[in-house]
Amino acid sequence: MRLITVYNHLFKRYGPQHWWPAETPFEVMVGAVLTQNTAWINVEKAIINLKSAGAISPEAVIEAEHDILAEWLRPSGYFNIKAKRLKNYCHWYLGQGGFEPLSRFDDNTLRHAVLSVNGVGPETADDILLYAFERPVFVIDAYTRRLFSRLGLVEHDMGYEALRHHFETGLAKEAGQVALFNEYHALIVMHAKEHCRVKPVCMGCPLRRVCPYPKQNH
DNA sequence: AACCAGGAGACAT
DNA sequence: ATGTCTCATGGT
């Protein structure tokens, strides 16, 4: 089965996801950091706190005391670490001059620049690249690994960069890379969420016969 | 009531 | 290069 075939099944079942769930590019960046190993519902609460405090800007994040910022981030978990990581990112972001100057970087340069921030790893960086800067990078997360290794389309022990390269080259001939990668990652997350927890059978699963869910606990 | 969620860094080996 | 610990709230 080809990668684009899996995509077509998912899209037919779930339709367009119009990700990322955020109002501005900066809000995408904040969400990308806060959602590290965390349920999105909890990230939403933290973002609401930031908005209520008028702190959904890089300047406000930097100016806030650590303990205050951590308190706003509390619902998203790891609040002490994430307060530091968010400040690290905002310092770097403003140091680069914000969105405009960064948007002139070529894809690879921008990716390495974002990755240089302490607290921003490959997945967080690619969330930011794809959903805030609209660059053609394929986001690899735990869901992607699990789904495609169980489908037998990738090896289970592939590293992040190897997986990313596999998806990007495997979909290279498809039109509209950014829009495709945007929808694909969102659909993978949606599919995983539907098959999360108790689901006796894959009723309505777009991948029917080959659907790897549920297996073990998922 | 254990288990997991849209990971990453520090550190040891 | 690869493996293990830690970070932490909230839903099921």
Residue A104: CB atoms within 10 Å: 9
Cβ-7 Å neighbors of strand B? A 19-21, 31-32, 35-40, 42, 77-78, 81, 117-125, 127, 131, 141-143, 160, 189, 192-193, 196, 217-218
pLDDT-derived band at A80, boundaries 50, 70, 90? very high
Is residue A202 predicted with pLDDT exceeding 70?
A: no
CA dihedral A134, A11, A192, A180 (to 10 degrees): -20
Q: Does residue A37 reach within 7 angstroms of strand C, measured from its CB?
A: yes
pLDDT-derived band at A67, boundaries 50, 70, 90? very high
Which nucleotides in chain B lie less than 7 Å from some protein C-beta? 3-10
Is residue A70 predicted with pLDDT exceeding 70?
A: yes
Summary mean pLDDT of chain A: 92
Rounded to two decimals, what is the model's pTM?
0.94
pLDDT-derived band at A156, boundaries 50, 70, 90? confident
Is residue A22 predicted with pLDDT exceeding 50?
A: yes
CA dihedral A156, A128, A14, A161 (to 10 degrees): -20
